[in-house]
Structure 1
Amino acid sequence: MFKKISNYFNKKNLKDDKFSYLFENSSNEEFVCFDCETTGLDPKKDDIISIGAVTIKNNTIVSSKKFVRFVKPKTKLQAEAIKVHHIRECDLESAEDIDDVILEFIDYIGNKPLVGYFLEFDIAMINKYLKPKLGIKLPNRAYEVSAIYYDYKIEKIPQSNIDLRFDVIMEDLKIPTMGKHDAYNDALMTSLIFIKLLNQPNVKIK
């Protein structure tokens, strides 16, 4: 109910009616799993430097439908961020402008439900650019894989301490790692977590 009310007021702020399809109802047959790499960890002052996304349909990753873009940031890359994603400023010299990438990304996701790990941060980063451009925040339903994993584990082992670190979840679900942590590989690995959880007994998403 809260989501419906929130989206009602969100839609009233939409600057361009051609994007009204974002607010249409969607089924749970197709999802988009995405990840952002950034200059730092503060959505208010840091910038996106890459977005990676994959489409999930009928429990399958649609390999022909992927989204990979690099973005030239306006703020300086933080040393701690470079240690994680290994993207340097010289790697972004031919990167695209965020205003173009955001619209391409919105076109890619449409009104599909979104999936991610640490998804609240990634959505906040997208909204940072989307709101000034279209007047809205992402209205899509969102599914955080660590929350789904927590519910799955707590039912099996009540009152336990559940480790929600990405690599721990991957190991517990026996999902192979895909090498370096970039936006596309992280989206791909997260989508595998999501699919694996959806196929566990008693795991349901709304």
Structure 2
Amino acid sequence: MRCNALVGALKRLTRTPVQHPRPAALTQRFEAWRALAPTDGRQSVRDSRLVVLDVETSGLDMKKDTLIAIGAVAITGGRIMLEDSFDMVLRQEQPSSKSNILIHGIAGGKQRSGTEPAEALMQLLEYIGGDPLVAFHVAFDQTMLEKSLAIWLQTNLKKRQWIDLAYLAPALYREHALNHRTLDDWMRVFEITNHRRHNAVADALATAQLFLCLNKKCENQGWHTLNELGTAERQYRLVRGQ
């Protein structure tokens, strides 16, 4: 029994990501970001800046796989701001597998020469500021980001509001809820084109276009604030038992 307990403890220890001390050179920038107040959820969507995020990873295992790339685009005043975007590849000690590279197209050399993870994540935090975040299937993107933020900067995004379009879309369009589950499904519904699928920035842009389509119906239903969109999403989760 004692031996089994020791083996179990060692397995848990090896699964725990090793934290890297936050570089001293980032301290001032980090503290400036941490002092920012999150956007008030009572604010209207049209009066807000929202950051639409997508990530590329070495695989789909949220425990063992790593964050490779982050793409984001901002929505301000109800418009996608192409000039206000974020595109970053994080340096990898070891590139991901060939089969994984075939999915996202980030070659091994580009992974090895990417931006140092702490610096890349610091730039992301500065890009986000205090603004709410939008993604499709938040659980994956948020978990992978939180894991990397914990390892490299010892922080998280838990104070930032997240809006998950994987739940907001079916909440608004119940007739599509049963057979439309992926981003590709909803892109087809609204005829959104993405010629660079599984590129983080391109997928963020497609997600931003989906958000604007959904927000039109939100406004027609009298949902104008960030909190109202969050409530619609949460209520649908409750209906689905998620």
Alignment of 1:67-146 (within 5 A): 67-138=86-157, 139-146=159-166
> Do the aligned partners of residues 134 and 85 (structure 1) sit closer, same or farther apart at CA in structure 2, a change above 3 Å counting?
closer
1:115-148 deviation digits (Å, cap 9, x = unpaired) = 0112211111111122244443212100111111
- The answer (yes or no) to whether the contact 2:94–2:112 under 8 Å persists in 1 is no
Q: TM-score, normalising length from structure 1?
A: 0.82
- The answer (yes or no) to whether the contact 2:52–2:135 under 8 Å persists in 1 is yes
Residue 237 of structure 2 is matched in structure 1 by: none
Alignment of 1:1-206 (within 5 A): 17-26=31-40, 27=43, 28=45, 29-138=48-157, 139-154=159-174, 157=175, 161-200=178-217, 201-202=220-221, 204=223, 205-206=229-230
1:61-107 deviation digits (Å, cap 9, x = unpaired) = 11211111111123541344223212221232421111110100000
> Do the aligned partners of residues 25 and 179 (structure 1) sit closer, same or farther apart at CA in structure 2, a change above 3 Å counting?
closer
> Do the aligned partners of residues 179 and 25 (structure 1) sit closer, same or farther apart at CA in structure 2, a change above 3 Å counting?
closer
> After TM superposition, which residue ranges in structure 1, 4 or more long, deviate above 4 angstroms?
none
Q: How far apart are the structure 2 equivalents of 1:23 and 1:135? A: 19
Q: How far apart are the structure 1 equivalents of 2:222 and 2:60? A: 31
> Do the aligned partners of residues 37 and 148 (structure 1) sit closer, same or farther apart at CA in structure 2, a change above 3 Å counting?
same
> Structure 1 stretch 34-43 or stretch 191-200: which is displaced more?
34-43
Q: TM-score, normalising length from structure 2?
A: 0.70
Q: How far has the Cα of 1:22 moved from its partner?
A: 4.4
Secondary structure at 1:199 match in 2: helix
- The answer (yes or no) to whether the contact 1:71–1:92 under 8 Å persists in 2 is yes
> Structure 1 stretch 117-126 or stretch 95-104: which is displaced more?
117-126
Q: How far apart are the structure 2 equivalents of 1:152 and 1:84? A: 31
